[in-house]
Amino acid sequence: MEPLPAHGPRLVPLRAHGFLALTMPIHERGKPFIDDTPSTGTIFTTITTRALALQEVATALGSSEDLERMAAALLPVAAGAVGSREGALFLAEPGGGYRLLCLYGTPDDLRAGLEESLVEQAAAGVAGASAGSVDQAGILKDEEFVTWCDEQGLQGEARNPYFEIYAPLRARDSVVGILALCRRFDGRDFSRDDLRFVEYVGSASAIAVSRHVLERENARQIEMLRALAKFTGEITATLDLNRVLATVANTTEAVVERDRALVALLEGGALKVRAVSDKVTVEANEAEVLGIADVLGVVLRRRGRLHVSAEHVAEEGLAIPDRDVFARYFESGEMQSILALPLQDEEGVLGYLVLESRNPAGFGDADAEEFLGILSGSVSVAIRNADLYRRLPMVGFLAPFASQRRRLHAMNPRARALLLGGIAAAALFVAAVPLPQNAVGPAVVRPSEILPVTALAPGIVERIYAKGGERLVAGSAVASLRNTESSARLAAAEADLKIAQRRAAEASQRRDPAEAQRWSLEAQNLAGWMAYARSEEQDQRLTAPVTGSILTPRIEEKVGEHLERGDVLCEVARLDPAHVEVQISEEDVGKVQVGKRARIKVLSFPNLQFRGRILAVAPEAVDLPGKPASFRVTVECANADLALLAGMTGRAKLEAGSSPLLWNLLRPLGRAIRMKFWI
């Protein structure tokens, strides 16, 4: 059967900014066209493909500042250039192992297995030890790989690596990674030119990968240095020993990854836990509570740095001091690794900084050793300074000032200048700006005037219109009187008036002028007396003389009582305006002046302020037992709604001039000095 005619090489779009030509013509059905005798067109296509591939490799290596993104851009180019559809990039680890960094073209169901495959890591190790690229068959024949598979119990296909070729990325005689590719998609083996191209790509990629690794490591070290500087600044910001220990325990996570940290100081020949991360208070038996007492005993006997993990204890070949102690410690709790750093200076051991982690491989970073040494040294210095400072005399008095001074020096210069300027402005305000001053004292509401309700005419109390304590408006009725004799006299006078008027009219008709004049004068006298009697009847209605409240209790019991002219029925207290009596001490009364403003609050209305003016200052003090003499100051307050009632109590503030706040604070001391020392 004749193969289908080829339609020439296809250009497959690989990236957004370029194309990659496949190395072979492809049929429409996707099968390769195999021609043992390469034509001129095939050779030209191969050369063009490799040239474009090298350009794509250069573009991929410079495409991103991030190592993962660069690897993701490189793999499709390198794999496509040699006819592979799958590839991977392994990154060399500090311990000599390899970590899978990026995959390309691998099915999703295989990715997780490849990322955790120990066989792939071992195959990458074999490639890293070789001088050039190595294929799958070469890896399977490697003695170290075979020995490792035997130790792991791997047989048959379980030993086979997934990828076909592994090319080391070598830079300056060191391998920084491994480029792995699967078989060609056409089923053919990689040619010598393919391997040379892959090795060349590996050499070019090694420089870029090495640069990225160095940049990442430098960034990590800079970050650790910043964290260490911040940590050192925090533990030296105070000289209080307890605060230093708590800060050390809680801030070590910024420098090294850990799950718990504790500080144990050497006291009485034993290590005593003084601070634990994420704990405010530490018990006296904290080591027993945490289950670490026996471990601290081993640490103290070792007298040096100690790093033990559950994996170390499980390996019989390692020399672990007091293996049983650590085995019980790891089995009884969730922590799986521990690192004890001695805290010591030229005077001796102060204690230990103990770091714990749930990760069995915790504290295994060799690059962090230098930082851990600096960390333990900084902690030792901070603890020694705090301990020496604690022994100084008057440390309790000087500690706040020293702490504030250190905080001030640690501030940004601009922020420090603003703070000092604010403090100076505040001091000037307190010392020079006069503020209103008040004289304060207890207050009692009194009526401004007490007026009697008197009878203007004699009579019997017939009706009462108000009760004791009731609020009245000026002119409102209080009671009415009844006088029967006055009413009878008024009726008789009315009858006599009519008789006198009739007789005066009859005399005029008889033309008797003398008689008519006599009766006319009589009628005028009777009319005048009747006007007086009627006014006396109007006086029988008693009204409130002012707006206020009735002070007389049980006024309604006076119904039926006879009152003579001028007798008092009740008393009305005038409460608009109300007078408030304020007791002001003799120390403040000298600044109180008539006419100044005053504010009053009473217990009945704590949310309201009643304002008024000072009306009078008593000329004589009132002596209270056991208290300084005080003067009664009367304040007049408007009370239109009669909210203030006589007898209400509260507090009053009276205007008493103005003076700076500093003088107000120092005035009692100044008065005492002036009264004690004077000539």
pLDDT tier, 4 (very low <50, low <70, confident <90, very high otherwise):
very low
Question: Where do we find the tokens 């004049």?
Answer: 517
Name the DSSP class of 5. P
d(C-alpha 6, C-alpha 202), whole Å = 33
d(C-alpha 609, C-alpha 537), whole Å = 47
Say if residues 229 and 203 touch (Cβ distance below 8 Å): no
Check for a shared fold between 11-217 and 236-403: yes
Q: Calculate ∠ Cα 422-426-429, nearest 5°.
A: 140
Please state the rounded mean pLDDT for residues 195-218: 78
Q: How far is CA 204 from the centre of its chain?
A: 52
Task: Say which range, 375-384, 563-572, 578-587, has the weakest mean pLDDT.
Answer: 375-384
Predicted TM-score (pTM) of the model is 0.41
Taking alpha carbons only, the member of 265, 238, 642, 263 closest to residue 407 is 238
The architecture that CATH gives domain 575-676 is Beta Barrel (2.40)
Query: Which pLDDT score, from 0 to 100, does residue 581 have?
Result: 92
pLDDT tier, 189 (very low <50, low <70, confident <90, very high otherwise):
confident
**Phi, psi angle pair for 278, to nearest 5°:** 65, 20
Task: Say which range, 229-233, 264-268, 440-444, 653-657, has the weakest mean pLDDT.
Answer: 229-233
Pick the CATH number of 236-403 from 3.30.360.10, 3.30.450.40, 1.10.3720.10, 3.40.50.300: 3.30.450.40
Taking alpha carbons only, the member of 270, 272, 228 closest to residue 253 is 228
Q: Between 496 and 545, whose confidence is greater? A: 545
Question: Where do we find the tokens 């290596």?
Answer: 61
Return the CATH superfamily for domain 11-217. GAF domain (3.30.450.40)
Say if residues 342 and 376 touch (Cβ distance below 8 Å): yes
**Phi, psi angle pair for 155, to nearest 5°:** -135, 155
Bridge partners, 543 (sequence order): 477
Question: Where do we find the tokens 């009596």?
Answer: 581
d(C-alpha 248, C-alpha 258), whole Å = 13
d(C-alpha 46, C-alpha 52), whole Å = 10
Report pLDDT digits (tens) over 241-290.
Answer: 777 788 878 877 777 788 888 888 888 888 888 888 888 888 888 888 88
Q: Evaluate if residue 501 carries a pLDDT over 80.
A: no
Please state the rounded mean pLDDT for residues 155-159: 86
Domain boundaries of the chain, sorted by first residue: 11-217, 236-403, 449-563, 575-676
Q: Are strands 337-345 and 459-464 parallel, antiparallel or unpaired?
A: unpaired
Q: How far is CA 98 from CA 92, 153, 168, 194, 364, in A?
A: 5, 21, 11, 24, 16
Residue 501 tokens read as: 């008027």
Taking alpha carbons only, the member of 623, 625, 599 closest to residue 613 is 599
